[in-house]
Amino acid sequence: MDIVTPPDGAQIVVGSIPVLHTVKDAGKIWNVNTVEAIRSPGKTPIRRCFEDDVGNVGCHQHLVEVEPIHVVSSTYYDTDGDGRIDAVVVDLDAKWVGSDLPTFDFWLNDSTRTGQKPNKDKPFYAGPTRGKLVVVGKDSLWVAAGTFLRDASGKVLQGPDGQPLTNVMGDTARGTDGQPLRDSLGRVYFKVAKTGVADSTRILVPLVPPFAFGMTGFDSLQGATMNATWVAVDSTGKKVTGTFVDSFKVDEKVPPVIVKAQIHRTESYDDQDTLVITPSEKVKIGSGKDWLEVWSCPVGKRKCDSASMVWVKVPADSVHAMGDGRYWFLVPPGDTGSIRPDYRVRFRSDVSDAKGNGVDVKNTHWATPVTGMPRPNLVKVKPPGRIAQIPESEIGKNRPGTILMKVTNGSRSRQDWWEPGVGYNVDRSKANQACPQVEYCNGPTLYLNRPARMIFYIYDQLGTYVTSRDITISQADLDGMNPDQLDRVQVELNWNHHTDEGELVASGVYVWRIVSWVNMPGTAMPQMTNYLYKVGVKILVEPPW
């Protein structure tokens, strides 16, 4: 009898150890391959015996130094997608044996989690496999290489075939010729659990409590220790308790999150708002523009409860990196995907960190509140974009000259009749009587979001007075309005082109004078503005022939 491997004094790892011994009997020599299950570290004898047909027994023994199971690699994860690291997957160099599970200590920047324990009922990781896919004939196998076995000097042990020996991680993966599959270093490949199956070479450690929101990345690998305890039997038969502390490093596979979002808003419908984002780490922005989504009220609603909120992709036009690690996005105005303070935003699939950890939109359950100042106070006037065209049939019809108002009602594209003190509860029949067709009326458009008193005067080209109206829009009126999702209120003025006496005016250009008094924050006297605008009207008179 002669034990070939492992040699006497070899350093091996707790677990299943391949043993090769040679038998010589009656002039014949043959090799026998077996596996020795070793469950505790320390000096351990490996003994093999053979008995021939007539009862002769020959034995051989090697004494090996058994090391505890070591950590090969480990990774932080955010398993529930809430933006907090809540688990660590620890990859071992052999299957964990025994019922006593190790404990772990972790460090992440200046935060620590000590005494962390695997779930005793489900201690092993059942997520994506640690193996690589190889195809052998018609079979597909998930495999991982074992670690080298070494002698007392640290030299890699070799078998009779000259190939390096490795510790056993599972069933040996073999090729179609029956020989073990090996990696480029000569290490044997072993079959490992596929995705979704618990792998006893991988321990899942929940972090209690999780690390704080936003701690998703770091410049260098973080420190950790595995603390293992086992019971062995010494040479006298006495049970001895041993401990082992294995130090290792932790990487991460956690996508970035937004730790701060601030909107800088403009007033004009044609200008873009700027959203400044502070990510939890340096990010990569993809070219597909699937960058952000906002949790907002449905289109047409300024206010809604949380159950009615929906996630909408933000139609950001461009993104720019700032020198301090922040990014700013240009957000075009509109009713879908627009952003306002108190909404929430989060990254989408075209955002990843420097390691390529991308956002999984199917497992994203965090959202960052948007901060920002209220939209700037403003009273702004825009000339009409069309000339009113009134048919000849309206000549002679007496209608009281009036200036009506249509105001934004939840959407940029929707305006409804509105009056101070009444709101949207306007008598529509009177409004339709004064302006029976939309093309009969026109006037400037106001943008405002503060209380104001305004007087509208209308004159002909010669300066002759035609009509006027004096209105006061109070804070209560503004609060009762239904702005669009950008908090913008558009007031469309509609003059029906009749005089105070009810007569239809002639074709031509008319001058609007708009005088406004607005209370400015921090000033005792209101600010007065005086605008002049020209508005055209055309009476469509049929030719006499």
- pLDDT bucket at 273, cuts 50 / 70 / 90: confident
Q: Is the pLDDT of residue 484 over 90?
A: no
Our CA dihedral for 12, 13, 16, 19, rounded to 10 degrees, sits at: 0
Q: Mean pLDDT score of the chain, rounded to an integer?
A: 87
Would the pTM of this model clear 0.85, i.e. be above it?
no
Domains of the chain by range and CATH?
2-67 (no CATH), 71-128+198-252 (2.60.40), 258-371 (2.60.40), 379-540 (no CATH)
| Amino acid sitting at position 451 | P
pLDDT band for position 86 (50/70/90)? very high
Q: Give the mean pLDDT of 91-100.
A: 85
Report the pLDDT averaged over residues 445-455.
85
Peptide bond into 298 cis (omega under 30): no
- Minimal CA–CA distance to 250: which of 279, 217, 274? 217
How far apart, in Å, are the Cα atoms of 372 and each of 199, 311, 521? 48, 20, 18
Radius of gyration of the chain (CA): 40
Q: What is the pLDDT of residue 267?
A: 61
pLDDT tens, 26-83? 889 999 988 888 877 878 889 999 998 888 899 999 988 888 889 999 999 999 999 9
Span 263-273, average pLDDT:
73
Residue 334 gets the label, from left (phi > 0), alpha (psi -120 to 50) or beta, of left
pLDDT digits (tens, 9 = 90+) for 156-188: 888 878 889 888 888 889 999 999 999 999 999
Summarised one tens digit per residue, pLDDT across range 322-331 is 989 899 988 7
| Mean pLDDT lowest among 220-224, 304-308, 329-333, 519-523 | 519-523
Confidence of residue 256 (pLDDT cuts 50, 70, 90): very high
**Given this model, what pLDDT does residue 83 score?**
95
Q: What is the pLDDT of residue 544?
A: 54
Q: Using the predicted structure, report yes or no on whether residue 545 has a pLDDT greater than 60.
A: no
Q: What is the pLDDT of residue 316?
A: 74
The pLDDT of residue 457 is 96
**What residues pair up with 349 in beta bridges, in sequence order?**
none
What pairing do the DSSP bridges indicate for beta strands 57-67 and 2-5? unpaired
CA angle 296/314/79 to nearest 5° reads 80
The pLDDT of 230-251, averaged and rounded, is 82
490 pLDDT more than 60: yes
> Model confidence at 235, in pLDDT bands (50, 70, 90)?
low
Q: Which one-letter amino acid corresponds to residue 418?
A: W
pLDDT in tens, 114-139: 999 999 999 999 999 999 999 999 99
For the stretch 98-110, pLDDT in tens is 778 999 999 999 9
pLDDT of residue 200: 93
Strands 11-13 and 57-67 turn out to be: parallel
Burial label for 219, CB within 10 Å (0-12, 13-18, 19+), is exposed
The answer to whether residue 335 scores a pLDDT higher than 60 is: no
pLDDT (0 to 100) of residue 121: 93
The residues pairing with 458 across neighbouring beta strands, listed in sequence order, are 467, 512
| pLDDT top residue among 276 and 335 | 276
- What pLDDT shows up at residue 520? 66
Q: Do residues 278 and 260 touch, judged by C-beta distance below 8 A? A: yes
Mean local confidence (pLDDT), 540-544? 67
Q: 389-422, pLDDT tens digit by residue?
A: 999 888 888 888 899 999 988 777 788 999 999 9
